[in-house]
Amino acid sequence: MQDWIEKIVFDHTSPLTAQGNECKFGFHVHPPEVMPHSHWHGHIEINFLFDCSAEYLINGRKIRVPEGKMILFWASIPHQMTASQGDGHMVNIYIPLQSFQTWKLPSDFSSLLLQGEVLVASHPNKADLALTQQWQYDLQKKQDALTAQVVSEIRSRVRRMSVEGYHHFGLFNLDLHVVQKSPVSGLSHIETMLRYIAQQYDQKITIAKVAAATGLHPNYAMKLFQRVMKVSIKQYINQLRLQHAQALLVDTEQGVLNIAIEAGFGSISRFYDIFQRELNMTPQEFRNKTLKIRTDSYHH
Q: What is the pLDDT of residue 17?
A: 39
- Average pLDDT in the 117-124 region? 90
Q: What is the pLDDT of residue 12?
A: 44
Tell me: the pLDDT tens digits for 223-274? Answer: 988 887 778 999 889 988 988 888 788 778 899 999 999 999 989 999 999 9
pLDDT band of residue 59 (cuts 50, 70, 90) is: low
Q: What is the pLDDT of residue 2?
A: 54
* Least confidently predicted of 14-23, 111-120, 126-135: 14-23
Q: What is the pLDDT of residue 294?
A: 60
Half-sphere exposure of 159 (CA within 13 A, CB side): 12
Q: What is the pLDDT of residue 252?
A: 83
pLDDT higher than 80, residue 86: yes
